[in-house]
Amino acid sequence: MRRIAVLIAFMFSLCLAGCGIYSFSGTSIAPDVKSISVYTIENRAMKVNPSLSNTLTNALQDKYRRLTNLEMLPEEGDLEVSGIITNYDVTPTAVTSDEVASQNRLTITVRITYKNNRHEEENFEKSFAAFQDYDSNNSLDAVENGLCEDIVEILVEDIFNATVANW
């Protein structure tokens, strides 16, 4: 009985893998899509973090390399991801009774252009935003690197899901 269950599970996984659209990484990439180009995400925010553009671009490229079988091309891939950082802002989120901020929020917004050269109906331009809060007793300079790493991770996950996971 156990052999039959294993055999059925194996055959089911072969069927899913054979259809060419579903993968166990959660992506749904059409079988005729073979490559991707992730262009440098330009930083056009009023306040500029000098390393954010490279950090975000590299994190996106790494995500596609790890979780898809797409060939990474410098330009003109079947899929193209480009974008600009439009906002890098710190705002107070919690105010004490003395009207002093006790918590601040760093928010990063990126406008992404996704172009599917094989299936143009999937093209989009969309903004993605993520934030992290931090104690106002800390200066932004002291916590900025850690906050940016966390925010970039969230943004990359959201962008990846919107482009190839169709979430």
**9 located within any domain:** no
Joined together, the tokens standing for residue 80 give 């193209």
Alpha-carbon distances, residue 118 vs 5, 17, 80, 115 (angstroms): 39, 21, 11, 9
Q: How many distinct structural domains can be found in the chain?
A: 1
Q: Tell me, what CATH number does 147's domain have?
A: 3.30.160.150
Residue 113 included in any domain: yes
Range of the structural domain that residue 41 is part of: 30-163
Residue 14 lies in a domain: no
64, part of any domain = yes
> Predicted confidence band at 16 (pLDDT cuts at 50, 70, 90)?
very low
* Domain contains 125: yes
- Whole-number pLDDT of residue 100: 73
Find, among 85, 79, 75, the residue nearest to 39 by Cα: 75
Within-domain flag for 15? no
- What one-character-per-residue DSSP string does 23-43 give? -TTS-B--TT--EEEE---EE
- Indicate whether 156 belongs to any domain: yes
43-102 residue pLDDT tens: 999 998 999 999 999 999 999 999 999 999 999 999 999 999 999 999 998 777 677 778
Residue 116 lies in a domain: yes
